[in-house]
Structure 1
Amino acid sequence: MSSRKATHAGSWYSSSGAELSQQLDVWLNTAELLHGPARAIIAPHAGYAYCGECGAFAYRQVSPAVVKRIFILGPSHHVRLRGCALTTAKTYTTPLYDLNIDTQTNTELEKTGAFSWMDAKTDEDEHSIEMHLPFIAKVMENFKDQFTIVPILVGSLNPDQEALYGNLLADFFTDPQNLFIISSDFCHWGNRFSYTYYDRSCGQIYKSIENLDKKGMDIIETLNADAFTEYLRKYNNTICGRHPIGVMLSAIKVLERKGYLMHFKFLKYAQSSRCKEMHESSVSYASGSLVFEC
């Protein structure tokens, strides 16, 4: 496959380049630069009507003049994948402009023996990576010929596998010209998600969901991979990007042992709707940024 199509354009976000560019501009100009320059961000991957404004807070922390290579770690929603997979495409299409794949880095990662390859259908069906592409294109538009992307589809990893991939990717985090995008929505609540955890001491259901999410967000801010794993075991919170997050936290664990100082901060939280009744449902979104201290 030479080029991956923008298969979710027109449904999950605008297929009009002009309209999409204007919409992204509004969100990015509204968000504040509070915690940058980002070396990694966590941002959502739902339809832009639900999470676009939230996602902009993460992308606002990116310094486009510095970035040359962007890793995108997205969870697999449609295929069973026990490890991580790379794309065979040479470019990814967006309504703004095409993004070039870093085939040299793909070759380097393949040589580790830890990565497989996505087939074309898996690649084009998956939204967890695609939903970040317009944001990348917009933020990097003044440098559009000066960067490449490395999409990585992340499967259902156990903690040992998260540690393995974190170790393989850790050195890439140390280069300020690299940016990591960790694609994740947060709690998927409701019967249709088979998850209805409700702590009534919090009040309304949506407040319980927020409290649950923020417990996890607080742990992510501590950069403690083991504590995040334990949180997931305790609450089973349906954070769909938990494995990409686990890979990032595992990489940070490696770097902390080498003496690197890093700080993560969440900047925005939102829910698709405020659930008050047990028959309702919602998805939560959070955006945050990782910086390296001098």
Structure 2
Amino acid sequence: MRQPTVAGQFYPLSPKTLKKEVSRCFNDIEITSRDVIGAVVPHAGYVYSGSVAANVYASLPKADTYIFFGPNHTGYGSPVAMSQDTWKTPLGEIETDKDIGTLLAGTIIDMDEIAHRYEHSIEVQIPFLQHRFGNDFKILPICMGLQDEETAVEVGQEVARAAKESGMKVVFIASSDMSHYVSAEHAERVDHYLIEAILDMDVPEVYRRRSEENITACGYGPISAMLSAAKEYGAKSTKLVKYATSGEVSGDPMVVGYAGIIVE
């Protein structure tokens, strides 16, 4: 069982308080399920990025399995690591997709729980899905410590292949914040520069622009893996549903950027 690591920090530990906080994130957002194949969502504390995340989750369709690509902030575990443990949040337990996991055996993606044990980037997403769909879905968490372009594309393509073979309805979700601890003006400029490449589904350009402007988005590999997987599923259009920074809540001059993007 993968126990929650950041409950009580990034989001409330009490189930009652967590339900209230997630509901607050969805305030004034119309829930309209769309034919979303992939998405980018932030993973900061709910008070900062929860409304950006909720704007994405409000658009997601019901799926059998939500496949998460998240960055590895801790450095623990395999370079590309899939979890097959049951995941627990204050709102209940969610099973991982063992069928797709089995179909990924022998690929670049290792089965390794250590990489996930203290990593927050995927954990914080699950209560949003539980708010929308109860506990009636599965997840496949993939944590990426290795984020180079070749690896990201291979991960996305392998996951798409396995998902197709499984016959399950899936949605691919990349967990990433954008710029970290820069001025709001700088964050807005470089984040939207990177977002343009994401909206064009142009993975090489994502890497080029990130390098050119030294953009500190932490999940550029997961974003690229998601885009690669979504393309295998015939994705045609993209939309930035919300952009915000932590400074809008904290009032601090140095901010972290958050983008919510859907791919259809």
Q: With structure 1 as the length reference, what TM-score do the two structures score?
A: 0.81
Matches within 5 A, 1:137-216: 137-141=130-134, 144-145=135-136, 147-171=137-161, 172=163, 177-190=169-182, 205-216=183-194
Segments ≥4 residues shifted beyond 6 Å: 173-176
Flag the structure with larger Rg.
Answer: 1
Specify the SS of the correspondent of 1:32: coil
Cα distance per residue 1:59-81 (max 9 Å; x no partner): 000122xx111101110001167
Residue from 127, 140, 148 that aligns with 1:134: 127
Aligned pairs for 1:182-261 (under 5 A) are 182-190=174-182, 205-254=183-232, 260-261=234-235
Q: How far did 1:139 drift? A: 1.3
Output one character per residue of 1:187-209: Cα deviation in whole Å (capped at 9) or x when no partner.
0024xxxxxxxxxxxxxx41232
Equivalent residue letter for 1:283 = V
Q: What secondary structure does 1:98 align onto?
A: strand
CA offset at residue 26 of structure 1?
2.9
Q: Which runs of 5+ in 1 are unaligned?
A: 191-204
Q: In the alignment, which residue of structure 1 is the partner of 2:54?
A: 56
When residues 34 and 218 of structure 1 are mapped into structure 2, their CA distance, relative to the original with a 3 A threshold, is farther
Instruction: Measure the CA separation in 2 of the matches of 1:24 and 1:280.
Output: 26
**RMSD of the TM alignment (CA)?**
2.3
Whole-angstrom CA distance in 2 between matches of 1:9 and 1:269 = 25
Q: Distance in 2 between matches of 1:221 and 1:173?
A: 24
TM-score, length-scaled by structure 2 = 0.89
Residues 45, 127 of structure 1: 8 Å contact kept: yes
Q: Which residue identity is paired with 1:48? A: Y
Distance 1:213 1:180, change over 3 A: same
Tell whether the 8 Å contact from 2:65 to 2:168 is kept in structure 1 after alignment.
no
Change (3 A) 1:14 1:80: closer
Question: Residue in 2 aligned with 1:76?
Answer: 72
Aligned residues with identical type, % of pairs: 28
2:103 corresponds in structure 1 to 108
Deviation, structure 1 residue 280: 4.8
CA pair 261-46 structure 1, distance change in 2 beyond 3 A: closer
Distance change >3 Å, CA 134–CA 149, structure 1 → 2: same
CA contact (8 A) 2:37 2:235 kept: no
How far the C-alpha of 1:25 sits from its partner, in A, is 2.0
